[in-house]
């Protein structure tokens, strides 16, 4: 997988939506690329924090926040991939 492709597959990778083959190609690149390795690690931490937040909120509160969180992760992704270029 090329470096440019990682961004495209990243959210699918975190959500577990990639096929086994895509997952393997993704892993191979991430293992050999420091920038992508850091990116995946950061995103895992953000995802873990979002999960913790979800547990602490009621269903209604969570639904209200969900849209904002997704927007936030997207902004963060665009920012962090711009930083590394």
Contact (Cβ atoms closer than 8 angstroms) between residue 12 and residue 18: yes
CA 82 to the chain's CA centroid:
15
What residue is closest to Zn ion based on CB?
33
* Least distance to Zn ion, CB of residue 83, Å: 13
Which member of 1, 14, 33, 73 binds Zn ion (CB under 5 A)?
Answer: 33
Which member of 10, 36, 40, 43 binds Zn ion (CB under 5 A)?
Answer: 36
**Which of these ranges, 16-24, 35-43, 44-52, 53-61, lies near Zn ion under the rule CB under 5 A?**
35-43
Burial class (CB in 10 A: 0-12, 13-18, 19+), 6: buried
């Amino acid at each position: 997988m090329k470096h440019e492709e990682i961004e495209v597959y990243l959210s699918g990778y975190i959500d577990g939506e990639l096929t086994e083959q895509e997952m393997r190609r993704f892993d191979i690149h991430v293992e050999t690329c420091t920038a992508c390795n850091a990116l995946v690690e950061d995103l895992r931490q953000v995802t873990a924090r979002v999960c913790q937040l979800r547990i602490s909120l009621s269903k209604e509160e969570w639904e209200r926040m969900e849209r904002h969180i997704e927007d936030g992760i997207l902004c963060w992704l665009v920012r962090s991939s711009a930083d590394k270029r």
